[in-house]
Amino acid sequence: MMFRIMTADEAVQLIDDNAWLGLNPFLSLSIPHALHDAIMRRYLQTGHPNHLNIYSPCGFGVWDEHRAADQYAAKGAVQRVVTSHYASIPAIARMTQQNEIEAYCLPLGVMSHSIRDAAAGYPGHLSHVGLDLFVDPRRDGPGLNERSRDEWVQLVELRGEEYLYYKTPEIDVALIKGTSVDPMGNISFSDECVICDALALAQATKARGGTVIVQVDRVSHTFERPRSVIIPGILVDVVVVDYVKPDEHIKAMDGSIHVPGSQMDYWMAHLARTSTGKAKQPSTAHSVIGQHAAQLLRKGDVVNIGIGIPEMVGQAASSSGILRDIVLTVESGGLGGLPAPGQLFGATIGADCIVSMAEQFDFYDGGGLSICFMGALEMDSEGNVNAHQLPDKVVGIGGFANITSAAKTVVFCLTTTAKGLEIAQDEQGTLRIVQEGQLPKFKKKIGAISFSAKQALARGQRVLYVTERCVFELTEAGLRLAEVYPGIDRDRDVLPHLEFPLAYPATWQAEQI
Sequence-distant (6+) residues with CB within 8 A of 365 are: 109, 127, 129, 402, 405, 406
Sequence-distant (6+) residues with CB within 8 A of 445 are: 380
Q: Which one, of 335, 332, 340, 334, lies nearest residue 314 by Cα?
A: 340
Sequence-distant (6+) residues with CB within 8 A of 46 are: none
CA pair distance 251, 199, nearest whole angstrom = 23
Q: How many CA atoms lie within 13 A of 374 on its CB side?
A: 30
Please state the separation of Cα 498 from the chain's center in Å: 29
Q: Which amino acid is at 509?
A: Q
Sign, CA torsion 169/173/178/181: positive
Burial class (CB in 10 A: 0-12, 13-18, 19+), 203: buried
CA pair distance 354, 375, nearest whole angstrom = 24
Please state the separation of Cα 318 from the chain's center in Å: 22
CA pair distance 113, 358, nearest whole angstrom = 6
Annotated catalytic, 331? yes
Looking at 102, 311, 331, 483, which residue is catalytic?
331
Helix (H, G, I), strand (E, B), or coil: what is residue 213? strand
DSSP-derived secondary structure for 453-505: HHHHHHHT-EEEEE-SSEEEEEETTEEEEEEE-TT--IIIIIGGGBSS--SS-
Question: What are the DSSP E strand ranges found in 317-397?
Answer: 327-329, 334-335, 338-339, 348-349, 353-354, 371-375, 378-379, 385-386, 389-390, 393-394
Sign, CA torsion 177/182/184/186: negative
Helix (H) or strand (E) segment spanning residue 422: strand 422-425
* Buried-state track 296-313, b at ≥16 Cβ within 10 A, e below 16: bbeeebbbbbbbbbbbbb
What separation in angstroms does the CA of 48 have from each of 14, 17, 23, 326?
Answer: 11, 7, 19, 51
CB atoms under 10 Å from CB of 18, counted, come to 12
What separation in angstroms does the CA of 40 have from each of 17, 86, 346?
Answer: 14, 20, 26
Q: Which one, of 46, 47, 35, lies nearest residue 7 by Cα?
A: 35
Burial class (CB in 10 A: 0-12, 13-18, 19+), 262: exposed
CB atoms under 10 Å from CB of 394, counted, come to 22
**Active site positions, annotated:** 331
